[in-house]
Amino acid sequence: MPFSRPGQKFSVPENDEKIMASWERFLHGNEPGSDALRRLVDDSWRRCASGSVDPRRDQAPPPMREDSLFSLRDDCSDLLEASAPVMASARELLSETGTVMVLTNEAGVILNLEGDSRLRDAAENIHLLSGATWSEMTCGTNAIGTAIEVGQPVQIHSAEHFCSGIKRWSCSADVIRDPFDGTILGVVDVSGLSDTFNRHSLALVVATAGRIENRLAQIEMDARFRLLERCMDRLGAGTTDGVIVFDRHGRAVKTNATATDALMELRRRHPDLPAPDDVGALRFHWRKGDSLPRELPAWVRREWLEPVEVDGERLGAVLSLPIRRAPAPIARATPEPPPATQTAAFSRLVGDAPALRQSIARARQLAKSRAPVLLLGETGVGKDVFAQSLHAASTTPEGPFVALNCGGLSRELLSSELFGYAEGAFTGARRGGMTGKIEAADGGTLFLDEIGEMPKDLQPHFLRVLESGEVYRIGETRPRKVNFRLVAATNRDLRQEVRAGRFRMDLFYRVAVTSITIPPLRERAEDIPLIARHLVAELARRQGVPALPLSPRVLDLFAAYGWPGNVRELRNVIESMLLTTEGSVLTEADVPDEIWTAGDGIVAPADDATGPTPTVSGLTGMEAAERVALVRAMQAHRGNVTAVARGLGIAKSTVYAKLRRYGLEGAVDEVRRTSA
């Protein structure tokens, strides 16, 4: 029976009976007393008991009222905006696995759900619904509430839940943090009934949370860029006041040269004021919808603070600090660092294969041009990294880089995201309207991924923007001037799409002025070891785990695999291995089963002395996975069929039948011989 390790993040379903017995002892006032119980779960049960959580609870409290939920969602608009396309991209996977993906705020209140509609009744029975609260003190130990408590990825399975009515569920969750100050903004969770347990769902939520955080950072950077652009004249050398610019969350982001002198003078009268060299510690708090904070610290006069709004959208505020003495002569401003060199701009593109080097060389050549670029390549090859590199090496690297994926969004949502809208343009429109991605990219780069997915009726509107340099928000009749560099990407053959009538020919020739083809990973297999080691270092640093070496056998497996998901799939596999390994080296035992599957057959994991089991063609995905499990069980039990049957929980006759079915009878003798 597996035992839990200290700090272990994932669940072990085989321990369910022992954990259930521990829970019953715990409820009777005894120590759980089982090595199967993880410290994470034990600590959570104790918090629940101290908080008087009812262990008989069988559902969350009823969801909040519709108007309260609407207000809460409005307060969490950035989180919802950042998560919508990320969660939408997981719909197919969720439907296949019988699970749902849940987004909550920092208090564990559900904001949105995506996933398998067949779970609807079961989810409703436990109030896994928008507006319901799933904090630990409300629903006991569960992935959402416990992740909020510990601030780390959490997997809770079946008996590990504190409340009896939720023990038939399995869930994995990770917190979503503010990219700027690290505070918890919410949680992303994947839940399903116990039979849907998958250790790799923990890696899925970790990756999803990371993607949402990246989108939040981009949204915030776009807002800050527009804020600073609006305040440039106030920050110039022409004013004698000390000026501090605060973003829409009340954080100090920029000062002028006189602000330090003004703060030093103020600090003489207000010692609690942060030191002038710690301006980042200054923070105002105001409610969403208010132009300025309702309460101000004693050192600030209300007339010193001025809101910064653009078309009704609050971007932040400017604080002007009068200074009593004549300001010291302003030294010549330190020149801004030069834009990133081409070498630095393309440093994220890892690999030495001739096909990749050729693509990078073409990208370097086109970077300084303002002509549109079309990136061509399969899903997961790194088109987004190429787009960011083109922007970093462009003539406007300090400008915004605004990305939008045209796939997975409804026609209405894509239209709003792309063009923006005016206040009152439609039911549910945000107060003050919304700036579209085209407008937000003014002065920088607009990256449209999966442009081939753009609905045909939106294509002429976007073409008009490219031709006129003007954009109309939905519901407005006044054009807004825009100047941006377009980088588009697709995994489709757009010429074929034009011939099929799904993509306009005039738009095609506008977006494909120049193009760069990015090779798939299978065509540059020599780069796989280099990329894999780079990803291990990067992901280990991000997850706070050791950067473990990859065994030669793993690299051989990686080289033999076709990587239909390209670099993105390799990244997910390595992240999963790092999160779930129990050793000090990443070995073939840590490689997910699907990597052992190649084409129609399987290369089964085996020691070098035994060699791989012969490939068998014509198997379904389920049969292939079953064959891998059978081979691994035979190797683990050294060909002892009785032990294999006991370990797999099936009859010995069934083992023999499956050995015949998968052509493995001879492999039994071979395993016994090499194990002797």
Averages of pLDDT over runs of 10 residues in the chain (676 residues) are: 48 89 92 83 95 95 93 92 92 90 96 91 94 97 96 94 95 92 93 91 93 88 79 67 84 78 78 63 69 74 84 83 54 40 74 90 87 91 92 90 87 89 75 87 93 93 91 90 94 88 88 89 89 91 88 85 87 89 86 60 37 43 64 75 76 76 67 57
What b/e sequence results for 442-452 when a residue is b if at least 16 CB atoms lie within 10 Å of its CB, and e otherwise?
bbbbbbbbbbb
CATH fold of the domain at 342-519? Rossmann fold (3.40.50)
pLDDT at residue 130, rounded to an integer: 95
Task: Tell me 610's DSSP state.
Answer: T
CA 263 to chain centre: 39
Judged on CB neighbours under 10 Å (0-12, 13-18, 19+), 48 is buried
340: left (phi over 0), alpha (psi -120 to 50) or beta: beta
CATH 3.40.50.300 maps onto the chain at 342-519
pLDDT at residue 676, rounded to an integer: 54
CATH of domain 236-321: 3.30.450
pLDDT at residue 326, rounded to an integer: 43
CATH 3.30.450.40 maps onto the chain at 13-218
Write a three-state SS string for 473-541: CECCCCCEECCCEEEEEECCCHHHHHHCCCCCHHHHHHHCCEEEECCCHHHHHHHHHHHHHHHHHHHHH
What percent helix, strand, coil does the chain show, rounded to 5? 45, 15, 40
Domain 13-218 coded CATH 3.30.70.3420: no
pLDDT at residue 624, rounded to an integer: 60
Q: Which of 57, 40, 38, 80 is nearest to 188 (CA)?
A: 80
Residues 6+ apart with CB under 8 A from 522: 562, 563
Q: What distances in angstroms separate CA 409 from CA 14, 387, 414, 455, one per listed residue?
A: 40, 21, 6, 10
Q: Are 110 and 131 in contact (CB under 8 A)?
A: yes
What b/e sequence results for 531-560 when a residue is b if at least 16 CB atoms lie within 10 Å of its CB, and e otherwise?
bbbbbbebbbeebeeeebebbebbeebbee
pLDDT at residue 619, rounded to an integer: 53
pLDDT at residue 342, rounded to an integer: 55
664 is written with which tokens? 């493995």
pLDDT at residue 280, rounded to an integer: 58
pLDDT at residue 333, rounded to an integer: 39
pLDDT at residue 660, rounded to an integer: 75
Domain 526-675 coded CATH 3.90.230.10: no
338 is written with which tokens? 């030069």
Q: Are 480 and 439 in contact (CB under 8 A)?
A: yes
Rounded to two decimals, what is the model's pTM?
0.49
Residue with tokens 């706070």: 544
Whole-angstrom Cα distance, residue 367 to residue 361?
10
